[in-house]
């Protein structure tokens, strides 16, 4: 329903039902109440963020006029207040810019100050650079358990407002200049704290924080907010890599992403939809977050920066069996599918390295992923008619070379960056991970089967695939 009504035609239909003059007609108040509920569902949908960039300002004006004319209708007033909370982050960003909105989000997460983010009457003032909250690892450690608990309470209490703000920032982070300015404003620091706090909420349970919602509803809203934060990080990191930054040195950010992905993979009932309807909001949020995490982690495994896949491989040797299972699942999902593929599977063969998107990512077809990658090589600051820079076409050229390269052994698929990076240290890490637990052939061969489909052939050396 939200995807249908978030189009231009859908917003026009809702606007026709939300005219203040309808309140004076017969059954007009009933129609307006139903239309306002639908409007709130559209505004809260993570897939309507792009449409709100164009329709949000005039929808906000319409909601203001309707609020002034419906002060006596309590049910309609409550619904319009919810719409106001979802629209104000966009209006605040239009008035003060994305940097001011990002700092307001950091203040709300840190201290619970929602000034200028929930009502039309108050506007967020541009924050002073000297008043920027420190979200570095050192500052978070100095805050201790008291600060972490305060941030958990703020995230649970303001998850709707925080999710709406992060979705607005995500739509702006697809633009290179905005993404780089957000990085200069240390946006990734509070995004890391946001993801870490969300992970702790999911890990410890939401029952004590679910006062106004059921735990399932709060969990779904939290997963959508985390998905938007992952998408925002994806946009910033992608533009940093495209700008020529040699390496992203914040290892703590990678640790948080891996930990969140591992914990999500260890929830089979959530990921498979057995504890909730497969098409329900909770299952959709979990799958969207899973896809977003895989895409942003691929920048660390096989992007332009030096591969950090060795960190993932060292986690396989974790004595905690749950952590080992989570890492093994994440590693298996990060590897490419075997080639040759069945013809009926080609339409759903998604690429891991994908440009950032303004909405939740989905497993797209191979043709769509290639089209997005080709579009990216002609953009990124270059003019439409100018030839793409050599560093911009690297991903496309590597993709073409990998698709035609086969291992001499005949049983391996064309390796991407993660497989090539993992090949040199798999044997030693596998012996460390499984040597002290079980010395049978099955245990020794398990990690090798992640790199070789079928498990019978020996992984080729890097020199075998360099030709």
Query: What's the pLDDT score for residue 117?
Result: 85
Cα(101)–Cα(99) distance, integer angstroms: 5
Instruction: Count Cβ neighbours within 10 Å for each residue of 220-243 and write b for 16 or more, e otherwise.
Output: bbbbbbbbbbbbbbbbbbbbbbbe
Cα–Cα–Cα angle for 105, 176, 137, rounded to 5 degrees: 45
360-378 average pLDDT score: 54
Write out the two tokens for 157.
């209490």
What's the Rg (C-alpha) of the chain? 24
* Preceding omega of 454 cis (within 30 degrees of 0): no
Tell me, rounded to whole angstroms, the distance of Cα 239 from its chain centroid.
15
Instruction: Count Cβ neighbours within 10 Å for each residue of 99-111 and write b for 16 or more, e otherwise.
Output: bbbbbbbbbbbbe
| CA distance to 78, 125, 288, 329, per residue, from 271 (Å) | 34, 41, 10, 12
Predicted confidence band of residue 420 (pLDDT cuts 50, 70, 90): low
Cα–Cα nearest to 170, from 239, 245, 109, 231: 231
Angle between helices 28-44 and 159-173 (to 10 degrees): 60
Cα–Cα nearest to 76, from 89, 87, 95, 63: 63
Sign of CA dihedral 14, 1, 289, 154: positive
Backbone region of residue 364 per phi and psi (left: phi > 0; alpha: psi in -120 to 50; beta: other values): beta
Residue that wins the pLDDT comparison between 381 and 113: 113
| CA-based max dimension of the chain | 80
* Count of Cβ atoms closer than 10 Å to residue 434 Cβ: 20
Query: What's the pLDDT score for residue 362?
Result: 63
Place of tokens 């703020």: 154
DSSP type of residue 409: T
Write out the two tokens for 246.
């040699």
Q: pLDDT tens for residues 96-153?
A: 999 999 999 999 999 888 877 878 876 555 555 555 788 888 888 888 889 999 999 9
372-399 average pLDDT score: 40
425: helix, coil or strand?
coil
Q: pLDDT tens for residues 244-301?
A: 888 888 889 999 999 898 888 766 555 544 445 545 688 888 888 988 998 899 888 8
Give yes or no for a contact between 374 and 393, defined as CB atoms under 8 angstroms apart.
no
Whether 205 shows a pLDDT value over 90: the answer reads no
Cα(328)–Cα(316) distance, integer angstroms: 7
Half-sphere exposure of 392 (CA within 13 A, CB side): 19
Q: What is the pTM of this model?
A: 0.75
Burial class (CB in 10 A: 0-12, 13-18, 19+), 143: middle
Query: What's the pLDDT score for residue 351?
Result: 53
157-179 average pLDDT score: 93
| CA distance to 149, 195, 275, per residue, from 204 (Å) | 11, 14, 18
């Amino acid at each position: 329903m939200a995807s249908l009504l978030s189009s231009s035609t859908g917003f026009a239909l809702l606007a026709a039902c939300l005219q203040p003059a309808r309140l004076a007609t017969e059954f007009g108040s009933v129609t307006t109440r139903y239309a306002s509920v639908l409007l709130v569902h559209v505004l809260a949908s993570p897939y309507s963020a792009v449409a709100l960039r164009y329709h949000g300002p005039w929808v906000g004006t319409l909601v203001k006029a309707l609020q002034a004319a419906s002060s006596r209708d309590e049910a309609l007033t409550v619904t319009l207040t919810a719409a106001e909370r979802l629209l104000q982050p966009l209006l605040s960003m239009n008035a003060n810019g994305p940097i001011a909105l990002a700092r307001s989000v950091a203040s709300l997460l840190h201290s619970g100050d929602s000034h200028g983010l929930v009502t039309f009457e108050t506007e967020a003032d541009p924050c002073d650079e000297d008043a920027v909250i420190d979200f570095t690892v050192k500052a978070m450690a100095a805050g201790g358990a008291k600060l972490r608990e305060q941030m958990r309470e703020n995230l649970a209490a303001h998850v709707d407002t925080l999710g709406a703000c992060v979705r607005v920032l995500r739509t702006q982070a697809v633009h290179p200049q905005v993404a780089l300015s957000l990085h200069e404003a240390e946006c990734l620091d509070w995004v890391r704290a946001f993801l870490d706090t969300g992970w702790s909420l999911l890990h410890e349970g939401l029952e004590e924080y679910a006062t106004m919602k059921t735990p399932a509803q709060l969990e779904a809203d939290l997963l959508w907010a985390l998905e938007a934060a992952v998408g925002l990080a994806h946009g910033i990191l992608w533009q940093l890599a495209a700008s020529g930054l040699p390496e992203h040195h914040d290892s703590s950010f990678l640790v948080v992403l891996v930990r969140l992905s591992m914990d999500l993979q260890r929830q089979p009932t959530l990921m498979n939809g057995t504890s909730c309807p497969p098409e329900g909001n909770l299952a959709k949020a979990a799958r969207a977050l899973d896809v977003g995490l895989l895409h942003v982690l691929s920048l660390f495994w096989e992007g332009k920066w030096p591969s950090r896949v060795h960190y993932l491989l060292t986690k396989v040797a974790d004595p905690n069996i749950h952590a080992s299972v989570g890492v093994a699942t994440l590693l298996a999902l990060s590897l490419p599918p075997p080639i040759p593929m069945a013809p009926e599977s080609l339409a759903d063969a998604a690429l891991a390295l994908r440009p950032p998107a303004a909405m939740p990512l989905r497993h797209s077809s191979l043709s769509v992923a290639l089209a997005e990658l080709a579009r990216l090589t002609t953009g990124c600051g270059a003019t439409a008619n100018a030839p793409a820079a050599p560093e911009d076409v690297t991903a496309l050229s590597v993709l073409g070379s990998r698709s035609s390269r086969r291992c001499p052994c005949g049983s391996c698929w064309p390796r991407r960056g993660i497989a090539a990076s993992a090949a040199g240290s798999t044997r030693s890490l596998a012996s460390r991970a499984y040597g002290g637990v079980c010395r049978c052939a099955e245990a020794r061969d398990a990690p090798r089967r992640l790199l070789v489909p079928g498990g019978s052939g020996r992984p080729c050396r890097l020199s075998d695939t360099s030709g």
